[in-house]
Structure 1
Amino acid sequence: MSDDNSMSKVPRFDGYYDHWCELMENFLRAKGLWGTVKKGIGEPLDETLLNENQRDLLDKARTHDYQVKHYLFQAIDRSVFEQILDRINAKVVWDSLKGKYGGNEKVKKATRNALKREYELLEMRKGESIDGYCGRVNAVCNKLRSNGEDIKESTIIEKIMRTLNEKFLYIVVFIEE
């Protein structure tokens, strides 16, 4: 499975952490490396106390860690890379990206408020298709949901019906009937 070309392309981080995080997690799971991010690797205090089998397992864990770090570093550009202060292992790098771009609850609340405002101001543009408008509304609603807002489908449909251009008024009346 790791020879599959579609699975070998590392998802690039484009500033949208939640989307990239999902893609990267799936990518690492497909490579069999997600456990390295999830658990990290436990470095022993004294390697001399390890038996041969334990040393082999530690070497394998370190190799997996280097692979994950390699993929993570491929996914980010230099400016993001330079903001990661501690690059000791893959878990620390992952957690650093999560902390910086994943946002805490205050950031998500501010984002939700901005998205609510955008949602409230959404109206169909002149000459815009219904599909295009519905796509814009759904994009904002999906961003709201990914930031923890519970928005019902019926609310979205009401919003769309309320804000369609006048030329679509007959469709709204027909649907309401």
Structure 2
Amino acid sequence: MSGKDNSLRSISTRLDGKNYTYWSYVMKNFLRGKNMWGYVTGTKVKLSVPQTENFDMLLDAWETDNSKVITWINNSVTQSISMQLAKYNTVKEAWNHLERLYTQSNFAKQYQLEYDIRALQQNDQSIQDFYAAISDL
């Protein structure tokens, strides 16, 4: 990664289990901006066989960046979700777990969404806030 970046927090949006689509969009753009998206896609892979004379340095750099991205992800999800990610050693494994968990299509999720949409009321919200709430669902 170019330059120093000591920030622990990546994005202001926190994955809570209901907002995966938006969270993944924001996180993907953040990681692309940091030139770290390759850790999610698997194009930046951990070297396993010493092929170059600077193998140790390259391996250390990969592990440092992988840990940095995992930290960013952990700091942008709720604690219960973060605890689920503790068993994964790579960003790719953690991201794939979240993707499988929150993009699966199932009847319970569909029912919950339909229920939430029917229960939503404008009350004292402005039109813009109410529209945003509907759009979020």
Please tell me the residue identity of whatever aligns with 2:127: Y
SS in 1 for 2:14: coil
SS in 1 for 2:10: coil
* Alpha-carbon distance in structure 2 between the residues aligned to 1:93 and 1:82: 11
**CA separation of 1:17 and 1:44: change in aligned 2, threshold 3 A:** same
Aligned to 1:143: 136
| 1:69/1:90 contact within 8 Å kept | yes
Please list every run of 5 or more consecutive structure 1 residues that lacks an aligned counterpart in the other structure: 145-177
Aligned to 1:68: 69
Max Rg structure = 1
Matches within 5 A, 1:94-133: 94-100=95-101, 102-106=102-106, 108-118=109-119, 122=121, 125=123, 128=124, 132-133=126-127
Q: CA deviation at 1:37?
A: 1.1
**Residues matched between the structures, number:** 132
**CA separation of 1:109 and 1:133: change in aligned 2, threshold 3 A:** same
* Alpha-carbon distance in structure 2 between the residues aligned to 1:69 and 1:9: 11
RMSD of equivalent CA atoms:
3.5
More helix as a share of residues: 1
Aligned to 2:90: 89
Q: CA deviation at 1:136?
A: 0.7
Correspondent of 1:22 among 21, 25, 41: 25
Please list every run of 5 or more consecutive structure 2 residues that lacks an aligned counterpart in the other structure: none
* Alpha-carbon distance in structure 2 between the residues aligned to 1:29 and 1:98: 18
